[in-house]
Structure 1
Amino acid sequence: MQPQDVRSLALLLPEVVEGAHKGNPDFRLGGRIFATLWVDEDRLVVRLSADDLSSLAEADRDLLEPVPGAWGRRGWTSIDLQEADEDVVRTILIAAWRRLAPALLDEAPEP
């Protein structure tokens, strides 16, 4: 999956805006980051709940890797974009977005 495709998927989610984190594009809801795109490394980093991480890891064990250290213990997870397909990335982005989405937005239809 190409970084520009990830960007397009992320920006389809309601009220998402693009920002920058350490020189990398990130995606925010209500000013809070839920995903960062590391273009040079072909990876996406998202924050997932323990339940989301568990269910996604069962389906795609080799694709997901916790970020080292405290960030990974807080749910931040790295996804190798060279190995990921669009359906998996969409599912992961939606899961990360929902961690931040207010109840009203959470009821919005999925893109």
Structure 2
Amino acid sequence: MATSVDLRRMALSLSGTTEAPHFDRAAFKVARIYVTLAADGKTANFKFTPDEQELKCLTAPEAFAPVPNAWGKQGWTAATLAKLSPSELKSALETAWRHARSKTRKPRRG
């Protein structure tokens, strides 16, 4: 069972990650926000691609669900932390972090 303490520790261990308030949540970002943690520490919202979101929701429907609105259609996915193992949490964080980090890289000119 993963906890908010696990999420915070793992997220902040990813290179370049900072934490800041975001409305009623804590946001973790590199160039962009890639995960937010609810104030009660029970759920987190991850930024996945729509395909990744679909796979997570199909393989672990007890843990993952699309955020219910236009944000969900963009890949934002709610997770119940107590339903994730620490390794599942780490995998979700790393996936979302890689997407956010890739936004910092500038394209090379040939």
Residue number in structure 1 paired with 2:89: 89
Is 1:4 paired with 2:5? Answer: yes
Shift of 1:66: 0.5
Tell me: CA distance 1:104–1:2, structure 2 relative to 1, closer, same or farther (3 Å). Answer: same
Structure 2 residue identity aligned to 1:85: S
C-alpha contact 1:24 1:39 (8 A) present in aligned 2: yes
Q: Which runs of 4+ in 1 moved over 4 A?
A: none
Distance in 1 (alpha carbons) for counterparts of 2:19 and 2:54: 27
TM-score after normalising by structure 1: 0.83
| 5+ long unaligned stretches in structure 2 | 106-110
Distance in 2 (alpha carbons) for counterparts of 1:67 and 1:78: 6
C-alpha contact 1:3 1:39 (8 A) present in aligned 2: no
Structure 2 residue identity aligned to 1:3: S
Structure 2 residue identity aligned to 1:67: V
Tell me: CA distance 1:68–1:58, structure 2 relative to 1, closer, same or farther (3 Å). Answer: closer
Residue number in structure 2 paired with 1:70: 70
TM-score after normalising by structure 2: 0.84
Distance in 2 (alpha carbons) for counterparts of 1:95 and 1:60: 16
Aligned-residue identity in percent: 27
Structure 1 residue identity aligned to 2:67: V
| 5+ long unaligned stretches in structure 1 | 106-111
Helix, strand or coil: the match of 1:40?
coil
Number of aligned residues: 104
Is 1:57 paired with 2:57? Answer: yes
Residue number in structure 2 paired with 1:21: 22
